[in-house]
Amino acid sequence: MKIGIIGFGNLGRALASGLIKSGIAAADIFICDNSPDARTSAEKEYSVNASDDASFAVKNADTVFLTVKSYVFEKLAPGIDRKLWEGKTVVSFMAGAQFDWIYALLGDIALVRGMPSLAIAQCEGVIGFTKAPEAVAEIFGKLGYAFEVSPEEIEKVMAFSSCGLGFAAYLIDAFAAAGQTMGFSPDDSARIAALTFKNAVDRGGFRETVKAVATPGGATEQGVIHMDENHVYDIVADAVRKAYERMM
């Protein structure tokens, strides 16, 4: 399968990395980006084909991924001959860009919406996607944990998973900062924080782990009580909700 990627920012790079890692030949990937630095990176670091012309990515591909902001694509789309989209599958990773909006720009195309996390670069991402051809769903499966959702649910995936990566990093950073206030070096604090969160993930059963570690009258219990009293659960839930509301 030949892949086109319109946009080579963080998400486009993550996608290219994951595709190559999953077995797609770099020579079969065609990217478009206006930035000379991005195109140089695409060619030298990823060995993919690069151009500043969006038509280049479309006409050379079987499946085209849209990894730009919707306002950027709105400017690009009129410059692409609609006939080039015929017979292609278009996968939009554009947050908040509804089906009807994309159809209005491109015509009656085979369209899939997906919301990935940046960890697709390591083929360890989370991807929610709408109904897709088998070949495209197979690609998603190679990039991480992939699951189909209804069109109405796709923004929820963005808020919970894609934005969630940033939220998780925020919490880990806060934990590392707490270590520094106790006198640990920045490097030690970051490493301890990362390993602590990794250990929690590896254990699984998160609620059970809290109960196992927070023994009655112990130090962990005091910290958990403090977080409960300050409504940390509610704060996290509200952060996800705010992200979701921003896309609606």
Output the pLDDT for position 115. 93
3-state class percentages of the chain: helix first, strand second, coil last, to nearest 5: 60, 15, 25
Q: Please, which pLDDT band fits residue 5 given cuts at 50, 70 and 90?
A: very high
Residue 230 has pLDDT above 90, yes or no: yes
Domains and CATH numbers, the chain: 3-149 (3.40.50.720), 159-247 (1.10.3730.10)
Give the dihedral of Cα atoms 97, 100, 102, 107; nearest 10 deg: 180
Output the pLDDT for position 167. 93
This model's pTM is above 0.85: no
Give yes or no for a contact between 68 and 9, defined as CB atoms under 8 angstroms apart: yes
Residue 248 has pLDDT above 80, yes or no: no
Q: Is 136 exposed, middle or buried (0-12, 13-18, 19+ CB in 10 A)?
A: buried
Output the pLDDT for position 57. 96
Separation of alpha carbons 161 and 127, rounded Å: 8
Residue 180, C-beta contacts closer than 8 angstroms, at least 6 positions apart:
186, 189
**Enclosing H/E stretch for 96:** none
Give yes or no for a contact between 117 and 90, defined as CB atoms under 8 angstroms apart: no
Write out the two tokens for 152: 């109405």
Give yes or no for a contact between 32 and 56, defined as CB atoms under 8 angstroms apart: yes
Q: Tell me: the pLDDT tens digits for 150-180?
A: 998 988 888 888 888 899 999 999 999 999 9
Output the pLDDT for position 209. 94
Give the dihedral of Cα atoms 176, 181, 182, 184; nearest 10 deg: 60
Of 30-39, 151-160, 175-184, 229-238, the poorest mean pLDDT is in: 151-160
What percent of the chain has a predicted confidence (pLDDT) above 90?
Answer: 90
